[in-house]
Amino acid sequence: MIQIEKLSFSYSGSSSPALKNISMEIPDGEFLGITGASGAGKTTLSFVINGVVPHYYRGEYYGNVRVNGNDVFSTDPCKVALDVGSVFQDIDSQMTCSVVEDEILFGLENFGVPKDEAEARLEWALRETGIENLRSREISGLSGGQKQRTAVAAILALKPNILVLDEPTGELDPASSRNIFRILKELNESYGITIVVIEQKIMLLCEFARKLAVLDKGSLAFYGSVRDVLKNADRLASLGVNYPRAVDFHKSLVSRGMIAPGTEVCISAEEAAALAGGLL
């Protein structure tokens, strides 16, 4: 479990806080999407969860953050890394080796995993991310989606129980983006890995995440189930957060008196079509 209590953080030299009085609990096995406008504090929040803040990015902080019962601020970052696997926004900067196999083995060797076990974990991670055919490929020759899968495989091999990803589909086309989210869903459902993903593509979050956290200028504006958060469409729009067109369709039906205000909000085209069909 990730427990965040009254967290505020300001980077060294900054005159304004990046995070302000955030409190939230992310239970084991959750699939959480974090979204918000640029500069809302999304990446900083991920840095707090994985220990990058304050161990690598210094600053002034208040409050408490615990991951699996351990205080992130006082726990050795290497220990945090075994609990929380991270895939950063700039994938190329995260790569340390030239070949896919070596990239996945790098972390295992650094954490002293025995050779036989490392080989088994390597094969498992390749299989789970669907890149067995890339094992001997040069990373420089991979597509964006293949690099993302390699990064996920390298972290997955360490067997963290939490996986934090910052904009994993930012440079990917729609098909590759969905493939990454399908992998995350499988890891979440098959192995109970807690997924925390920062993402601007709201339709992906609506389809795959179970909860949404919306940040606004460092504060937590909304936190709850995807459907409950999307009930606040007008407020989300004012914060610069997109929402599915199906929500607008639902709003228009309510405003015309065709459905009751308390009717469950649509979050997909399929749900909107089913609702429209029921009115005909």
CA distances from 272 to 124, 201, 243, 244 (A): 40, 19, 14, 11
Q: Is the pLDDT of residue 99 over 90?
A: yes
Q: Is the pLDDT of residue 175 over 90?
A: no
Q: What is the DSSP letter of 168?
A: T
Could you tell me the pLDDT band of residue 24, with boundaries at 50, 70 and 90?
A: very high
Residue 72 or 255, more confident: 72
Residue range 19-45: mean pLDDT, rounded = 95
Residue 40: the pLDDT is: 94
Residues 45, 8: Cα–Cα separation, whole Å: 10
Q: Which CATH superfamily is domain 2-234 in?
A: P-loop containing nucleotide triphosphate hydrolases (3.40.50.300)
Residue range 44-64: mean pLDDT, rounded = 91
Residue range 27-51: mean pLDDT, rounded = 94
Residues 253, 66: Cα–Cα separation, whole Å: 44
Contacts of 31 (CB under 8 A, 6+ apart): 184, 185, 188, 194, 195, 197, 208, 209, 210, 211
pTM: 0.90
Residue 258: the pLDDT is: 80
- pLDDT tens digits, 76-95: 888 888 899 998 888 888 88
Residue range 60-85: mean pLDDT, rounded = 89
Amino acid at 7: L
The pLDDT > 70 percentage for the chain reads 100
Do residues 46 and 166 make contact, with C-beta atoms less than 8 angstroms apart?
yes
Residue 255: the pLDDT is: 78
Could you tell me the pLDDT band of residue 266, with boundaries at 50, 70 and 90?
A: confident
Residue range 202-211: mean pLDDT, rounded = 92
| Nearest residue to 20 (alpha-carbon basis) of 240, 223, 220 | 220
- pLDDT tens digits, 146-155: 998 899 999 9
Tokens matching residue 88: 């950063």
Q: Is the pLDDT of residue 269 over 70?
A: yes
Portions of the chain given CATH number 3.40.50.300? 2-234
Q: Is the pLDDT of residue 56 over 90?
A: no
Residue 269 or 174, more confident: 174
Residue 58: the pLDDT is: 87
Residue 276: the pLDDT is: 77
Residue 280: the pLDDT is: 67
